[in-house]
């Protein structure tokens, strides 16, 4: 089963960012919203995002598909999360940056922004979700 990427939700989040109301959600909330895991953009806590990744996703070594999640960890313990982004297509990930920006970017560019991240993995929703 392919991941459920909702491009309408991404467009809505981009509009919210453009209109200057993006402090109401973070990159983790944006990731969950893009994947239809939450109904509204929200500020998602570190604890809730790590729990989501642990419970509802698995590491993927397969070819990237839309909806795969780029996860940047501070270290290999997988307890200190730095950032997430969602694979859209053509080697591009969509993510929310800081306060008032979202963008489509390569994995390399995202890694250059989040220098504290020492460990990166690709995760995919489990078939049940």
Encode pLDDT of 80-119 as tens digits: 999 999 999 887 999 998 767 889 999 999 999 998 889 9
CATH numbers and ranges of domains, the chain: 7-125 (3.90.1720)
How is residue 38 written in tokens?
Answer: 């939450």
Confidence (pTM): 0.90
Which residues are within 8 A (CB) of 56 and not within 5 positions of it... i.e. 6 or more apart?
37, 125, 126, 128, 129
Which residues are within 8 A (CB) of 8 and not within 5 positions of it... i.e. 6 or more apart?
none
Encode pLDDT of 12-71 as tens digits: 888 887 776 667 789 999 999 999 999 999 999 999 999 999 999 999 999 999 999 999
Which residues are within 8 A (CB) of 109 and not within 5 positions of it... i.e. 6 or more apart?
none
Element of type H or E holding 16: helix 7-18
How is residue 32 written in tokens?
Answer: 């969950």
């Amino acid at each position: 089963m392919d991941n459920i990427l909702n491009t309408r939700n991404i467009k809505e989040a981009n509009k919210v960012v453009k209109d200057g109301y993006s402090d109401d959600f973070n990159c983790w909330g944006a990731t969950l919203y893009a994947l239809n895991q939450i109904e509204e953009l929200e500020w998602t806590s570190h604890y809730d995002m790590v729990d989501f990744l642990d419970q509802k996703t698995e590491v993927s070594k397969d070819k990237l598909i839309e909806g795969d999640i780029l996860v940047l960890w501070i270290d290999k313990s997988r307890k200190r999360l730095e950032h997430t982004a969602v694979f859209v297509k053509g080697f591009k990930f969509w993510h929310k940056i800081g306060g008032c920006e979202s963008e489509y970017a390569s994995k390399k560019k995202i890694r250059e922004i989040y220098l504290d991240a020492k460990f990166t993995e690709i995760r995919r929703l489990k078939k049940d979700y």
